[in-house]
Structure 1
Amino acid sequence: MSASPALLVEPAALAAEIAAADPPTLLDVRWRLAGPPGREDYDDGHLPGAVFVDLDADLCGPPGAGGRHPLPDPAALQQVLRAAGVRAGHPVVVYDGGDSMAAARAWWTLRWAGHQQVRVLHGGYPAWVAQHLPVVTGTPCPVPGDITVAPGGLPVLDAAAAAELVAAGGTLLDVRAAARYRGETEPVDPVAGHIPGARNVPAARYAGPDGRVAAPPALRQIFDEAPTGTPVGAYCGSGVTAAQAVLALHLAGRADAALYVGSWSDWITDPARPVATGEETSTG
């Protein structure tokens, strides 16, 4: 496994960067699956210079046959990112409300769009506030950016590719809670169970509730069932939590990790696709 680039930034280090002459572009992507909108949190207080970007409306396409959080239209994404001040070749830092899931999906989306210099604020907004770093309420007016969205910067799985990955002996990680994987409960989607052949590695194994991801040596042990040299991909309910898994896999040295963007919410849109229940190969 190769060494990963800097993917996370700690609050104190980011504060120093913000105070420099050419600070990184900051994107506030606070979001909750069941609401209320993250914009309300942003208006109550955010990092100096941060621009709010809505995960549902701005970083994903409309829900439908591709799942609840499908890929965005590249042209629409480019417009959003330029309006937020994202510049070609200029660093971006994304943060959320602390669980790192929305931030990881934003990180993944920018990397997929071809922007390499993206980091996640480790621990998100709560970690920033806990260190008594400055918070503002005003809405900035960033200079428009010039990013050109070029899809393909990170590998993507669709339903067929996910099935092929399993059939070819690769590792497909289901990072939902074990009870959802086994099909015992399904609080969001209309069908319970998992993709046949997927291995269950619940997100709680590699990231805490505060969004802080385990150190690379621990991550390599957690993901040791995805051997180097074989393909690896991740899915969850709709491609948000799984983006955090891809971030963790990058930290573990697996920069080839693919995201099944539509995830379970896409898989079950075709009743001909098989559904497995119970224990199969679980590390939960």
Structure 2
Amino acid sequence: MFKTIIVQVDDSASMDGRLQAAAGLARAHDAHLVGSAATGLSWPAYAMLTGSMAVMPIDEFETLRAAKRSELERFAERARQLGVQSVEERLVEDEHRDALLLQSRYADLVVTSLDGGGTSTVRGVPQYLALHSARPVLAVPAAYAGAPLAETVVAAWDGSVPALRAIVGALPLLERARAVHLAIVNPEREGDLHGDEPGADMALYLARHGVRVEVAAVQTDAAAGTALLELVAARSAGLLVAGAFGHSRYREIVLGGVTRVLLERAPVPVLFAH
């Protein structure tokens, strides 16, 4: 189960969507919800940037901290409106990604937004956390409005370690889902990772955890990321589980890849792990 969930707090348009997702999970798992707001840099770093330790930079930095405290107060009020019983406000004087990365060590899940959030405090965060954190990351579309996450789930499976870690990280959700579709796109291309019957071993592993799972093998000429999104739409899934950067990061960034497609186009929350 998820017992400690961290959600990134800021004043972006995508904040309420990610908070609704985090609050829904906190209610379902009776979890402690931590709102993390970062100043973007520490006081020493701020002083170095301003070139002075005089009174004015201190006052300016305190203004920045006050703005973040206000964001946390709004987070806590909204979280309680959404029915979360255990809420914590956490102000961190650090860069946004590093703050969440450190805190993720002591949580079960980190919730942020997909890159379409439109602000610098969101952009780049989910892939950074997926690559460097030992915890799964839930990236939520800005337009998310509270639809159930764990009724129908598509879990991408290509036999890779990132895909395995994503599925294992999502087990608290998969075990509660009414239906889990284990998606395998063009399995013959990764035959050495799938065995004689692609998906059978992973489906059995999930079934032993009580997951109601079926294998959904997809043959397509489309890119794997596009095929996964088409399956999400066809099955009316509320959540996609996927490994992040299964290929080299260079290939993903320069040539495109599943992670990039999902970050830019996923219409539902995506649980990533690497």
Pick the structure with more helix per residue. 2
Rg: which structure is higher? 2
TM-score between the two structures when normalised by the length of structure 2: 0.29
Instruction: State the TM-score, normalizing by the size of structure 1.
Output: 0.28
